[in-house]
Amino acid sequence: MLRRLYAWILALSDRPSAPYALGAVAFAESSFFPVPPDAMMVPMSVSRPDRVWFFATVATVCSVLGGLVGYAIGALLFDSLGQALIKLYGLQNSAEAFERSYAEYGHWVILLKGLTPIPYKLVTITSGFAHYSLFWFTVLSVITRGARFFILAALLGRYGVQIRGVLDRHLNAVAAISLAVIVLGFVLFKVIL
């Protein structure tokens, strides 16, 4: 099944709908979807290295737009979803202290965690329910998501042929490692936050 999905993404790279599919995944990942856009961007870029910078741009723009939806979820749905997240992170007794701390260090949270395997939706929703400045949230999201996807694009542009060879030979191992990194990202977010 994983091989079929990989082959489908490679074939999708040549279709006009490729940027829309990548954009939809990048948008959704920043607000509610668990699969990072890298899962599409990597195979698409190794299949179409001439479009690697375009794919990075699409992923960045859509990720930031999705991040604004995640921010809105945290800011506007605080009583339902926000409270559940506060309980999930064990912050019931220190929500006000958390908001003050996030106001002071939120820029570092956004910049650093936006580059890591920590799911970005956690950063976006947290920023919203902590009432972090929307302006700075947007600016920092453009910086960190842009850096993440353009660094990936540079690596794919430079080493795409070798990366495709690894994916073709060891797709299951790469997928297992990627899943472990995503789970580790969730765990680290809870521990660090």
How far is it, in rounded angstroms, from Cα 83 to Cα 91? 9
How far is it, in rounded angstroms, from Cα 72 to Cα 59? 20
Average pLDDT over residues 144-165: 84
Give a three-class secondary structure readout of the chain. CHHHHHHHHHHHCCCCCHHHHHHHHHHHHCCCCCCCCHHHHHHHHHHCHHHHHHHHHHHHHHHHHHHHHHHHHHHHCHHHHHHHHHHHCCCHHHHHHHHHHHHHHHHHHHHHHCCCCCCHHHHHHHHHHCCCCHHHHHHHHHHHHHHHHHHHHHHHHHHHHHHHHHHHHHHHHHHHHHHHHHHHHHHHHHHHC
Average pLDDT over residues 30-39: 79
How far is it, in rounded angstroms, from Cα 63 to Cα 120? 9
Condensed to tens digits (0 to 9), the pLDDT of residues 44-101 reads 888 888 899 999 999 999 999 999 998 998 889 877 766 676 666 565 565 566 677 7
How far is it, in rounded angstroms, from Cα 76 to Cα 125? 10
Average pLDDT over residues 115-121: 73
User: Which one is predicted more confidently, 189 or 83?
Assistant: 83
Least confident of 17-21, 38-42, 152-156, 173-177: 173-177
What pTM did the predictor assign? Answer: 0.78
From residue 34, how far is each of 47, 101, 117, 147, 183 by CA, in Å? 24, 27, 11, 20, 10
- The pLDDT assigned to 191 comes to 58
All structural domains of the chain with their residue ranges: 54-192
